[in-house]
Structures are given as C-alpha cells and as structure tokens.
C-alpha cells in the first residue's frame, strides 16, 4: 500500500523524536511491502520564525490533503511572550480544528517492565492500570472567545466555555464505542455541580446510554476523578471528558504509568485522516541533546497504522518491538528506575539509539 503522511517535526525535541519514528516507519514499509511518502509541514515556533504565522493556510491544506499527520511537539520559551493568537500552540489548535479531529484517544497503560517507574505504591500498580481517556478536542474553553478588557481601571480576562448537544453527542458516541471494544465501562467526567456545560454534558451522556445497553455508564466529578486516578486507577476502563479536563487528567494518567514520554495519542474526526502525536510537549530544556524518549512518537505511528491505515499486523510489530526493547533492559533517561539494584539491570540509551534498537527488533510475525 502507498500512504502519504504529512510530517510536522515542530520545535524542541520534536525533530529528534519524529526522525526516529520515521526510521521505524520506513523499516515497517520495507518488511511489509508498503511505501510511505512524507511531506514536510512547518507548524509552531519554527513557522512563526519563518512566516510570522504558527500555521500558514497552505501548511494546513497539506495536512488535510494527506492520508494522516505525524506530529512531534510545538512550543518553547522563545515564543512565550508573543500575543496569544500567534503562539506556537495556536498552530496546533488550528490544525486540530482544521482537520476536524474532535476525538482524542489517550491510553494510560502500564508496561509491566516499567512498573517500578510508577510513582504509585506497588499494591496500586499491581491492581492494574489500563484505561483510555477519550478527550473532546475541538470545542470547549480552548475554542471559546478569549479576550482581555480594561474594566474599572484594571485588566479583566475572559475565556468562554461552550458545548452544544451535537458536540457532546459525537464525542459521547466515541466513548461508548470505545468501551464496547474493551471492558464495557464508561466513566463520564464533568463538573456538573458548578457548570451548565457539564450539566448538559451529563444529560446527553445519559440519553445516549439508552442506545448502548451493553456499556455501564457512571458519572464522576473532575476533581474526584483526579483523586481516583492516583488512589484506585484499576477502576477505570474508558473515561470520556471535555477538552480541558481531558488535557489535565491525561497528564496525570500518563505519570502514573511511569513517564509521559511513553504515551501516544490519536485524534480522529469523520474521515480516516488522523493526527498522531505523543502527548508530551517540546521539552526545550533537553532539545538537541539526543536524550529524549522517542517511544511516545513511535507508538503514535503504531496507532496511525492501526486506526487510519487499517494495518493491524504492522502496528502489532511496532508495539512488540517496543516491548522487546524494554525486556532487554534498554531505558531512556526518563524511564530509568530509581532503585539502585534495578538500575544495574538496565542500559541507559539516547534518542537515536532507542529508535535504532526498536527498528532492529521489528519482525513480521
């Protein structure tokens, strides 16, 4: 098969991690007989520097015209003081909205080899951590009106949070369908004790539940959910939530699995053209040092193969190779164990070595 992939390396560690993911993808192509063509797209800080715009329209057009988009990370201190509408992150938000990818899927699964890297007590980790956060991605407070006014001699800032029934319904369906393919438990997370948008959210979810009788729907307030994720994560199968709650909870969920550097994500809308990115940021403090963990990006490529290209065997081969790498004791700095005895069993590796060792472990079956 031939696939055209738009590649956004972005800022900070973005180029390093994406280069490793492409190496792995090319090897998968070689083994399974596929051709992957890449189109470079500038987005984020590097696009601000080049064009004065974090995502020029022709760059967005290239993404929409592709079979899927692979993204590293955007942002950095250098662009912290530019106006809000010009920030590197604005490019990412425009990309998500422009592609119409309303459903962001973020798995929180502990790799058994990394159990000791989790900050949680062993008894909690041993109970199992394997859930998915389905995050609404192109609505809510991220996309409402943002403004700063002068009121009574001082600045007053406003960000508006809006959700319509249809926006809630389409992400709700993804939540139910995801649960149907897994443990059939869906937890809808909101703040219905305070917010109107959350009360509507809850109502729509319960209405939808009638169409999915095989799924058990529960509700949880977002503050309680933040607590439950560290207290008893094994209770969760699928969490469905709005944009900002999902942003915050998915960072928390990634941390309990050991490292945010390991977590991939997929974002999909109405078509099979998806956006695939690790959930971590651009980590400018370690950029260019070849120490970043490329596994979140490499696993994002596996998700692209599975969900957009219908290549499950190819996706399995990447996930198997990552598991084998961990079995063999190789660790990037972020997933090195803290225990001295454990450290002796591991070999510390850098970013490019990590990519190389994974591609050496790729097999067809």
CB nearer to ligand IPM: pick between 92 and 129: 92
Vertex 10 angle, CA 6 and 14, to 5°: 100
User: Does 242 contact ligand IPM by CB under 6 A?
Assistant: no
Q: According to CB under 6 A, which one of 18, 25, 208, 279 is a site residue for ligand IPM?
A: 279
Select 75 or 337, whichever has its Cβ closest to ligand IPM: 75
For ligand IPM, the closer of residues 253 and 273 by Cβ is: 253
Question: Nearer Cβ to Mg ion, position 233 or 246?
Answer: 246
Phi-psi domain of 263 (left: phi exceeds 0; alpha: psi -120 through 50; beta: other): beta
Residue 268 forms beta bridges with which residues? 103
342 binds ligand IPM (CB under 6 A): no
- In this structure, what token pair is assigned to residue 26? 């090319």
The residue at minimum Cβ distance from ligand IPM is 89
In the bound state, the residue with its beta carbon closest to Mg ion is: 247
> Per residue in 124-149, is it b (16+ CB within 10 Å) or e — as a string?
bbeeebebbbbbbbbbbbbbeeeeee
Is 42 near Mg ion (CB under 5 A)?
no
Q: CA angle, corner 137, sides to 131 and 142, nearest 5?
A: 125
- Residue of 42, 67, 237, 247 with catalytic role: 247
Which among 191, 135, 200 has a CA at the least distance from the CA of 163? 200
Nearer to ligand IPM, 92 or 110 (CB): 92
How far apart are alpha carbons 359 and 19 in whole angstroms? Answer: 12
92 binds ligand IPM (CB under 6 A): yes
Residue 191 appears among annotated catalytic residues: yes
Cα separation of 23 and 46, whole Å?
22
Which partner, Mg ion, ligand IPM, none, binds residue 67 by CB below 5 to 8 Å per kind?
Answer: none
* CA within 13 Å, CB half, 90: 17
CA separation for the pair 95, 81 (Å, rounded): 21
Q: Is residue 247 a contact point for Mg ion (CB under 5 A)?
A: yes
Among 53, 130, 219, 251, the active-site one is 251
CB of 142 to Mg ion, least distance (A): 11
27 touches 90 (CB < 8 A): no
- Given ligand IPM, Mg ion, none, residue 92, with its beta carbon under 5 to 8 Å by kind, binds ligand IPM
What are the Cα distances from residue 56, in Å, to 138, 183, 343?
19, 42, 46
Q: Chain centroid to CA 346: how far?
A: 27
Q: Is 247 a catalytic residue?
A: yes
Contact 302, 315 (CB under 8 A): yes
17 binds ligand IPM (CB under 6 A): no
Tell me if 247 contacts ligand IPM by CB under 6 A. Answer: yes
- Minimum CB separation from Mg ion for residue 102, in Å? 16
x/- contact string, 37-76, with ligand IPM (CB under 6 A)? --------------------------------------x-
Residue among 6 and 74 whose Cβ is closer to ligand IPM: 74
Out of 23, 26, 56, 89, the residue judged to bind ligand IPM by CB under 6 A: 89
Which amino acids are annotated catalytic? 142, 191, 223, 247, 251
Which residues contribute to the site for ligand IPM (CB under 6 A)? 75, 89, 92, 247, 279
Which residues contribute to the site for Mg ion (CB under 5 A)? 247
């Amino acid at each position: 098969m031939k696939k055209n992939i738009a590649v956004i390396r972005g800022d900070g560690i973005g180029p390093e991690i994406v280069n490793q993911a492409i190496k792995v993808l090319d090897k998968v192509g070689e083994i399974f007989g596929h051709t992957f063509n890449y189109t470079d797209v500038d987005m984020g800080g590097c696009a601000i520097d080049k064009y004065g715009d974090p995502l020029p329209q022709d760059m967005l057009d290239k993404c929409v015209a592709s079979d899927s988009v692979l993204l590293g990370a955007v942002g950095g201190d250098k662009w912290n003081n530019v106006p809000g509408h010009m920030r590197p992150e604005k490019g990412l938000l425009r990309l998500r909205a422009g592609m119409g990818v309303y459903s962001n899927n973020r798995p929180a699964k502990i790799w058994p080899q990394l159990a000791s890297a989790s900050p949680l007590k062993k008894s909690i980790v041993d109970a199992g951590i394997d859930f998915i956060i389905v995050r609404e991605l192109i609505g809510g407070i991220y996309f409402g009106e943002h403004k700063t006014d002068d009121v009574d001699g001082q600045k007053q800032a406003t960000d508006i949070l809006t959700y319509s029934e249809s926006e809630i319904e389409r992400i709700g369906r993804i939540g139910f369908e995801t649960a149907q393919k897994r443990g059939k438990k869906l937890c809808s997370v909101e703040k219905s004790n305070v917010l109107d948008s959350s009360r509507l959210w809850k109502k729509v979810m319960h209405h939808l539940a009638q169409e999915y009788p095989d799924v058990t729907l529960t509700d949880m307030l977002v503050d309680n959910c933040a607590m439950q994720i560290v207290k008893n994560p094994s209770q969760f199968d699928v969490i469905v939530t709005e944009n900002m709650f999902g942003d915050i909870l998915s960072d928390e969920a990634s941390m309990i699995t050991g490292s945010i550097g390991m977590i991939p994500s997929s974002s999909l809308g109405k078509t099979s053209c998806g956006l695939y990115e690790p959930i971590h940021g651009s980590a400018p403090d370690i950029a260019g040092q070849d120490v970043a963990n490329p596994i979140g990006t490499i696993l994002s490529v596996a998700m692209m193969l599975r969900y957009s290209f219908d290549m499950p065997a190819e996706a399995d081969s990447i996930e198997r190779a990552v598991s084998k790498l961990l079995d063999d004791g190789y660790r990037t700095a972020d997933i090195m164990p803290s225990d001295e005895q454990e450290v002796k069993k591991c070999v510390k590796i850098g970013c490019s070595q990590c990519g190389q060792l994974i591609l050496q472990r790729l097999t067809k079956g």
